[in-house]
Amino acid sequence: MRNALITAWAIIKDNLSSKTTLFFVIFFPLFLTLIFALGFGAAAEPHVMVMVNGNPSLASYLNGTQLFTGIVGSDEREALLHNYVYVSVNGSKVDIVYPQQDNYLVPSLEAIIQNYLSGVNTVSFHVSSQQGFTYYDYVISGMIGVISLSNGVFGVTGVAAGYYRDRLVDRIAASPLRSYEWVMGLIVYEIVITLISTVPILLLGLAFGFLPLISVSFVAFLAISTLMFAGLGAVIFGLSPKDKLFVAQTAANVLVFPLMFLSNAFFNLSAFPPLLKPIVAYQPLSVINDVIRDLVVYNVLPSLFDVGYIAILTVAFVYVGGRLMKLRETD
């Protein structure tokens, strides 16, 4: 372990002394967050979104009003997180939960729903507002998961490829450093830069009014999720031919971008086509985002399934990555 830490320190210092690396560690995630927060934030919504539970045809009806965009869903928390109005219809009882800033729209919405349900004798409305969450809370917490993904996978494949290309690995391979220490050194580096990258994102979040709940469990989980993705990076790099290093980086790109965009990092699960929903829901980044949101946004204990799922993947990827990413043929 001593050699792994010595190596991690050398890699950290080497990379953080480079302006290019600093750009990718600090500014690139900030740009990405800004693009998503400003591009897809509540201000950019052309219509007020209404999530309807219990009456799909009401969602279609709302779409025809030109005032509201109706979608079908049952997750009230997710709806409010996206600044959607949430409508739950149960016979003649209608519950409306809305973000506080949308209170001026509620009378119109009530009238439209009343009109739609005109066949029902008495419609009773129960209306409440939530201060709750904003899309910024959602996107910034999702961005933290994205950072662990991109730093973990690209970090290992990119940094290791660079050291192979520079032939530093030739020298290290002849030293007493063991292969697993080398992999651990790279992984520790990825964890450190993920933590560094997270700070400016959270500061940006503050500017958008997002007050994250920073806890030891959040930091620990962020480290574990980076460990998992770094393990995945080690698997990719270990399987790639060392005389064709571009293969590792291409494979990392091919894997990371679909994982990033087919996840709940920027868009709610309900925004995806039904065929993709199971993939989006259970792919590792979405599960990580669920846990991160539970910890930093909702202040609730994450589900045991989510944590266990990530723990198993972490052990599997780190073990296989450590076995595949050999420094030398003799290991």
Minimum Å distance from CB 14 to another protein? 4
Q: Quick check: 6 binds another protein (CB under 8 A)?
A: yes
Q: Closer to another protein at the Cβ: 167 or 244?
A: 167
Q: Closer to another protein at the Cβ: 131 or 329?
A: 329
Minimum Å distance from CB 4 to another protein? 11
Q: Quick check: 3 binds another protein (CB under 8 A)?
A: yes
Other CB atoms within 10 A of residue 314 CB: 20
Rounded distance between C-alpha atoms, residue 127 and residue 94, angstroms: 8
Rounded distance between C-alpha atoms, residue 298 and residue 291, angstroms: 10
Q: Closer to another protein at the Cβ: 47 or 171?
A: 171
Piece in contact with another protein (CB under 8 A), picked from 36-44, 170-178, 272-280, 284-292: 170-178
Which residues, 9 to 38, sit near another protein by CB under 8 A?
10-11, 13-15, 17-18
> SS3 for 88?
strand
# residues contacting another protein (CB under 8 A): 23
Inter-residue long-range contacts of 114-123, CB under 8 Å, 24+ positions, other chains counted: 116/58, 116/61, 117/89, 117/92, 120/91, 120/92, 121/92, 122/92, 123/92, 123/94
| H or E segment and range at residue 237 | helix 216-239
Largest CA distance in the chain: 84
End-to-end CA distance of the chain, in Å? 17
| H or E segment and range at residue 309 | helix 304-324
Q: Quick check: 243 binds another protein (CB under 8 A)?
A: no
Minimum Å distance from CB 322 to another protein? 17
Q: Quick check: 171 binds another protein (CB under 8 A)?
A: yes
Tell me, what DSSP letter sits at residue 296?
I
Minimum Å distance from CB 1 to another protein? 13
Rounded distance between C-alpha atoms, residue 314 and residue 177, angstroms: 23
Pattern 299-328, another protein, x by CB under 8 A: -----------------------------x
Among 46, 128, 243, 329, binds another protein (CB under 8 A): 329
Minimum Å distance from CB 256 to another protein? 25
Which residues, 173 to 212, sit near another protein by CB under 8 A?
173-177
Q: Closer to another protein at the Cβ: 51 or 172?
A: 172
Q: Quick check: 330 binds another protein (CB under 8 A)?
A: yes
Rounded distance between C-alpha atoms, residue 186 and residue 188, angstroms: 6
Q: Which residues pair with 69 in a beta bridge?
A: 49
Q: Quick check: 170 binds another protein (CB under 8 A)?
A: yes
Minimum Å distance from CB 286 to another protein? 36
Q: Closer to another protein at the Cβ: 6 or 211?
A: 6
Where are any strands of DSSP class E within the chain?
A: 48-53, 68-72, 85-90, 93-99, 124-130
Q: Quick check: 246 binds another protein (CB under 8 A)?
A: no
Among 114, 115, 166, 261, binds another protein (CB under 8 A): 166
Inter-residue long-range contacts of 288-291, CB under 8 Å, 24+ positions, other chains counted: 288/145, 288/148, 288/149, 288/221, 288/225, 288/228, 289/141, 289/142, 289/145, 289/263, 289/264, 289/265, 290/264, 291/221, 291/225
Piece in contact with another protein (CB under 8 A), picked from 40-48, 120-128, 165-173, 234-242: 165-173
Residues at the contact surface with another protein, assessed by CB under 8 A = 3, 6-7, 10-11, 13-15, 17-18, 166-168, 170-171, 173-177, 328-330
